[in-house]
Amino acid sequence: MSVGLIKWMTQSIINLMAVTVERYLKVVHPFWSKKYLKRWMIHVTTVFAWVGGILTCVPAAFVTTTVQDGICLPYFVWERKEIMVTYVFWCFVFLCVIPAMLFVYCYGRIALVVRRQARVMAAHNVQASAQTNAAQMESKRVKWNILKTMMIVSGAMVICWFPVHILFILIHLGYERYGFNATVSLAYLYICMNPFIYAIKHDGVKQTLAGLMVRFRRAVVTNSGVDP
Residue ranges of the domains in the chain? Answer: 3-224
pLDDT at residue 130 above 60?
no
pLDDT at residue 199 above 50?
yes
Grouping H, G, I as helix, E, B as strand and the rest as coil, residue 221 is: helix
Rounded mean pLDDT of 62-71?
78
Question: How distant, in Å, are the alpha carbons of 110, 134, 187 from that of 138?
Answer: 18, 6, 35
What percentage of the chain has pLDDT greater than the value 90? 0
**Distance between CA atoms of 198 and 149, rounded to whole angstroms?**
7
What is the predicted pLDDT for the residue at 124? 62
Phi, psi of 101 (to 5 degrees): -65, -40
pLDDT at residue 92 above 80?
yes
Does 3-224 carry CATH code 1.20.1070.10?
yes
What is the predicted pLDDT for the residue at 139? 63
Residue type, position 226, single letter: V
* pLDDT category of residue 143 using cuts at 50, 70 and 90: low
What is the predicted pLDDT for the residue at 135? 61
pTM of the predicted protein model: 0.69
What is the predicted pLDDT for the residue at 226? 47
Rounded mean pLDDT of 129-150?
65
Residue type, position 179, single letter: G
Phi, psi of 179 (to 5 degrees): 75, 15
What is the predicted pLDDT for the residue at 15? 83
Question: How distant, in Å, are the alpha carbons of 116, 127, 128 from that of 132?
Answer: 19, 10, 6
Question: How distant, in Å, are the alpha carbons of 12, 33, 116, 161, 162 from that of 154?
Answer: 11, 22, 23, 11, 12
**Distance between CA atoms of 89 and 99, rounded to whole angstroms?**
14
Q: Higher pLDDT residue, 126 or 211?
A: 211
Grouping H, G, I as helix, E, B as strand and the rest as coil, residue 225 is: coil
Q: Higher pLDDT residue, 145 or 93?
A: 93
* pLDDT category of residue 63 using cuts at 50, 70 and 90: confident
* pLDDT category of residue 4 using cuts at 50, 70 and 90: low
